[in-house]
């Protein structure tokens, strides 16, 4: 079990496969403030999809945008309790390419995450999207 300073406990279970790079569950004991982040997309500041056709390149932009969205709520990647990673592909190699970049950003904070291959995502040429739920200790919302 990993316990982070914000109260998130990452749980593993000896009865489930141990050769995975994520926790099977996370627990955040109250009182906490919960942040639900809309799916981070591979868009630049002008709303254009970046790195068309490049799963890794899009995932880098997605993760940078996720960091920015979290910062606006006073959170960081280590405050995340759960993610869902969407990849517009049925090829496992494409999912792995996105997952490997996602893991670079998450580092040792291997929260429960679901990796899904989907048919299509919302923006033209979009290949990757990451949703997140983060938890913070209860304190006043910081302007951002």
The predicted structure's pLDDT at residue 10: 81
Q: Which residue segment(s) compose the domain that 37 sits in?
A: 2-137
Q: What is the pLDDT of residue 60?
A: 99
pLDDT at 4: 57
Burial 79-118 (b: 16+ CB within 10 A, else e): bbbbbebbbbbeeeebbebbbebbeebbeebbbbbebeee
* CATH classification at residue 9: 3.30.1330.40
Residue 24, pLDDT score = 81
Q: What is the pLDDT at residue 26?
A: 79
Could you say which DSSP state residue 142 is in? P
Distances (CA, A) of 83 to 52, 105, 141: 23, 13, 22
pLDDT for 39 equals 96
The answer as to whether 8 is a domain residue is yes
33 in a structural domain: yes
pTM value?
Answer: 0.86
**117-to-50, 107, 130 alpha-carbon distances in Å:** 20, 22, 12
Cα gap 88→41, rounded to integer Å: 12
Distances in whole angstroms, Cα of residue 76 to Cα of each of 51, 53, 121? 24, 28, 25
Q: What is the pLDDT of residue 144?
A: 57
Report how many domains make up the chain.
1
Supply the pLDDT for residue 1.
Answer: 55
Per-residue pLDDT for the chain (144 aa), expressed as one digit of tens each?
555 556 778 887 887 888 777 878 878 777 888 999 999 999 999 999 999 999 999 999 999 999 999 999 999 999 999 999 999 999 999 999 999 999 999 999 999 999 999 999 999 999 999 999 999 988 655 665
In a domain, 144, yes or no: no
């Amino acid at each position: 079990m990993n316990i982070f300073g914000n109260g998130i406990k990452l749980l593993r279970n000896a009865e489930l496969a141990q050769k995975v790079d994520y926790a099977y569950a996370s627990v955040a004991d109250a009182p906490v403030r919960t942040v639900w982040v809309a799916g981070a997309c591979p868009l630049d500041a002008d709303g254009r999809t970046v790195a068309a056709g490049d799963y890794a390149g899009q995932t880098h932009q997605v993760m940078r945008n996720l960091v920015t969205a979290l910062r606006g709520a006073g959170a960081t990647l280590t405050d995340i309790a759960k993610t869902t990673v969407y990849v517009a592909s049925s090829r496992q190699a494409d999912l792995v390419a996105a997952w490997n970049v996602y893991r670079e950003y998450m580092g040792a904070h291997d929260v429960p995450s679901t990796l899904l291959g989907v048919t299509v995502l919302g923006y033209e040429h979009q290949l990757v999207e990451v949703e997140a739920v983060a938890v913070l200790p209860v304190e006043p919302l910081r302007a951002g």
